[in-house]
Chains A and B, each alone.
Chain A
Amino acid sequence: MAIKLPIYMDYHATTPCDPRVVEAMLPYFTEHFGNAASRNHPFGWEAEEAVEKARKQVADLIGASPKEIVFTSGATESDNLAIKGVAAMYREKGNHIITCVTEHKAIIDTCKGLEKDGYRVTYLPVQKDGRINLDELKAAITDKTILISIMAANNEIGVIQPIAEIGAIAKEKGVLFHTDAVQMVGKVPFNVNDLKVDLASLSAHKMYGPKGVGALYVRRRNPRVLLAAIIDGGGHERGMRSGTLNVTGIVGFGKAAELCKQEMAADSERLRGLRDYLNDKLHKQLDELYINGSMEHRLPHNLNISFAYVEGESLLMGINDVAVSSGSACTSASLEPSYVLKALGAGDDLAHSSIRFGLGRWTTKEEVDYVADKLTAVVTKLRDMSPLYELAKEGVDLSTMVWQTEGH
């Protein structure tokens, strides 16, 4: 089978809408265009019915009840609502929040903002495998701690945090537990009750739904979580998120959730096979590859590898018919490589050499073969051009070298 170029292998960034999702959405642009908040005519009723159906589809995917789903514009808003909403609502109980250094910027920057308002935030480090240390989490909890926010699976390295254990610790200490579950939900099983999660951020476009719609799961019993709204207005979504509902987007989100629930098991098994095949093939064809983060506790469709002695951006330039992303940040003004990879302690040089692969519903074996072979050719060419590879082959220990960095 001929493959179509360019190849998309960046499914952590976003996913295309499943055609079945688009089909479900289309009537809600035109004939069923009503405002779900219009209570006194059939146009509104139709829209509301569609929203409630989608609410159930999303709830079913994560083992929640429909009333626990608050629709938002996406996971960034959900993260903001969870953290700011809890912080404001539980201010009298305490002012301490615990999170982690490898969280998405929507969490980190929201927490940094709260620090300016008198909140105290603990940013837990991660171990070499990308997971937090549960003893450090327990030790960080004080009588002022109101929220623990730890992501379910990381967007760069795909590492899955010990969510059930964190949930149990939070429950025992009476602290609310929020998780940014964007990368995990719809890909592998995620149940809010099994995991003892109180709040969870979801995004439609990471699971074959449309962009611009997400949700926040807000637990209603044991305990009942209260949130202060961050967007005020008409009191939609039980007062937690005002604003006319994005009915088409929500319908698409619901359909995407339903499809994920049906197809997740088969999809993830197939993708795990392809991901392992990619990893094996690269390791057979190249030496000095380093996998970033735990392979055991990892999303089945993620691979993050550092190709030692080769700089990531030059690597991307050589495989320009393949869409992947790099932890290198040669294009950013700060020239800082990925903070997630730095947090693993692998060294900045390996962070600069990293490539993130995200496989998805339409990834084929032919595409994986093409990507592996192309990468092998480009890495080999760039290593022939790399002074670091030459030094390493001469037996020089690069970590003990003194580099002339003055002025850079």
Chain B
Amino acid sequence: MAYSEKVIDHYENPRNVGSLPKDDVNVGTGLVGAPECGDVMKLQVKVNPATGVIDDAKFKTFGCGSAIASSSLATEWLKGKSVDEALAIKNTDIVNELSLPPVKIHCSVLAEDAIKAAIADYKKKQGTTMSAAEKAQPTVQTI
């Protein structure tokens, strides 16, 4: 299948691959997907305690090129955002940016899940909980 140029670029030059210290109280870790489904994403955010802004984000992904690109893009977008702004990132934004075909939409859904899971972990460490709205499953939209 043909990949979009942006997917190929993220695959060949993935941004922010790596790991942050998962025991750090300012680091939130999300691990979503399953090996038997062919996709696992680990996404981490580091929130600046003084400003509440995400000043670092890292990912590692087991998955197809579109899954790698979705998580790579997500880390790019997360940096510099507040926690609330991060939660506003939708899978459809990723689909549009990377021109993902319908069979690859699940990759973007997984990336949104990973963001939500990382933020939830961060909030848990900070002693706050997510609202019900924030926890809601992302909606899958075909374009």
The interface of chain A, by Cβ under 8 A from chain B, is 309-311, 313-314, 317-318, 328-333, 335, 337, 347-349, 352, 384-390, 398, 403-408
B39:A311 contact, CB within 8 angstroms: yes
Can you list 17 A-B pairs with a CB-CB distance of less than 8 A? A311-B38, A313-B64, A314-B68, A329-B38, A330-B64, A330-B67, A349-B36, A352-B36, A385-B61, A387-B31, A388-B35, A390-B60, A398-B35, A403-B34, A407-B113, A408-B33, A408-B34
Residues facing A in B87-116 (CB within 8 A) are 103-104, 106, 109-110, 113
Contact of B60 (CB < 8 Å), options: A332, A337, A385? A385
A34 to chain B, nearest CB (A): 44
14 further contact pairs, Cβ within 8 A, besides A313-B64, A387-B42, A408-B33: A309-B62, A311-B67, A314-B65, A314-B67, A317-B64, A330-B63, A330-B64, A335-B106, A348-B36, A348-B38, A352-B36, A386-B62, A387-B41, A408-B106
A317:B11 contact, CB within 8 angstroms: yes
Give the docked Cα–Cα distance between A146 and B6 (Å).
56
Give the docked Cα–Cα distance between A330 and B103 (Å).
8
A333:B35 contact, CB within 8 angstroms: no
Interface SS majority for chain A: loop
B34 surroundings in chain A (CB, below 8 A): 403-405, 408
Q: How many interface contacts (CB-CB < 8 Å) are there between A and B?
A: 105
A389 surroundings in chain B (CB, below 8 A): 62
B86 located at the interface, meaning its Cβ lies under 8 Å from any Cβ of chain A in the complex: no
A311 surroundings in chain B (CB, below 8 A): 38-39, 62-64, 67
Give the docked Cα–Cα distance between A309 and B8 (Å).
21
Which residue of chain A has the shortest Cβ distance to B138 in the bound complex?
A407
A408 to chain B, nearest CB (A): 6
Contact of B35 (CB < 8 Å), options: A330, A332, A390, A403? A403
Residue from A314, A331, A335, A386 with most neighbouring chain B CB atoms (10 Å): A314
With known contacts A404-B32, A404-B117, A408-B106, A330–B38 Cβ distance under 8 A: yes
Contact of A388 (CB < 8 Å), options: B40, B66, B68? B40
Give the docked Cα–Cα distance between A344 and B34 (Å).
20
B37 located at the interface, meaning its Cβ lies under 8 Å from any Cβ of chain A in the complex: yes
B19 located at the interface, meaning its Cβ lies under 8 Å from any Cβ of chain A in the complex: yes
Give the docked Cα–Cα distance between A308 and B137 (Å).
30
Q: How many residues of B contact A (CB 8 A)?
A: 37
A313:B65 contact, CB within 8 angstroms: yes
B113:A386 contact, CB within 8 angstroms: no
B3 located at the interface, meaning its Cβ lies under 8 Å from any Cβ of chain A in the complex: yes
A314 surroundings in chain B (CB, below 8 A): 11, 63-65, 67-68
Give the docked Cα–Cα distance between A404 and B41 (Å).
11
The interface of chain B, by Cβ under 8 A from chain A, is 1, 3, 8, 11, 14, 17, 19, 31-42, 60-68, 103-104, 106, 109-110, 113, 117, 137-138
With known contacts A407-B137, A408-B37, A387–B110 Cβ distance under 8 A: no
Give the docked Cα–Cα distance between A311 and B39 (Å).
8
B75 to chain A, nearest CB (A): 12
A385 surroundings in chain B (CB, below 8 A): 14, 17, 60-61, 68
A408 surroundings in chain B (CB, below 8 A): 33-34, 37, 39, 106, 109-110
A390 surroundings in chain B (CB, below 8 A): 19, 42, 60
B110 surroundings in chain A (CB, below 8 A): 408
Q: Top 7 nearest A-B pairs by Cβ distance?
A: A349-B35, A348-B36, A403-B34, A387-B42, A313-B64, A330-B64, A387-B60
Give the docked Cα–Cα distance between A348 and B14 (Å).
26
With known contacts A311-B62, A385-B61, A403–B137 Cβ distance under 8 A: no
Which residue of chain B has the shortest Cβ distance to A317 in the bound complex?
B65
A387:B109 contact, CB within 8 angstroms: no
Give the docked Cα–Cα distance between A378 and B43 (Å).
22
Give the docked Cα–Cα distance between A348 and B3 (Å).
25
Give the docked Cα–Cα distance between A407 and B60 (Å).
21
Give the docked Cα–Cα distance between A141 and B3 (Å).
49
A386:B61 contact, CB within 8 angstroms: yes
Give the docked Cα–Cα distance between A396 and B35 (Å).
14
B62 to chain A, nearest CB (A): 5
B117:A335 contact, CB within 8 angstroms: no
B103 surroundings in chain A (CB, below 8 A): 330-333
B63 surroundings in chain A (CB, below 8 A): 311, 314, 330
Give the docked Cα–Cα distance between A385 and B40 (Å).
11
B31 surroundings in chain A (CB, below 8 A): 387, 404
A310:B62 contact, CB within 8 angstroms: yes
B67 to chain A, nearest CB (A): 8
A387:B61 contact, CB within 8 angstroms: yes
A347 surroundings in chain B (CB, below 8 A): 35-36
Which residue of chain B has the shortest Cβ distance to A383 in the bound complex?
B62
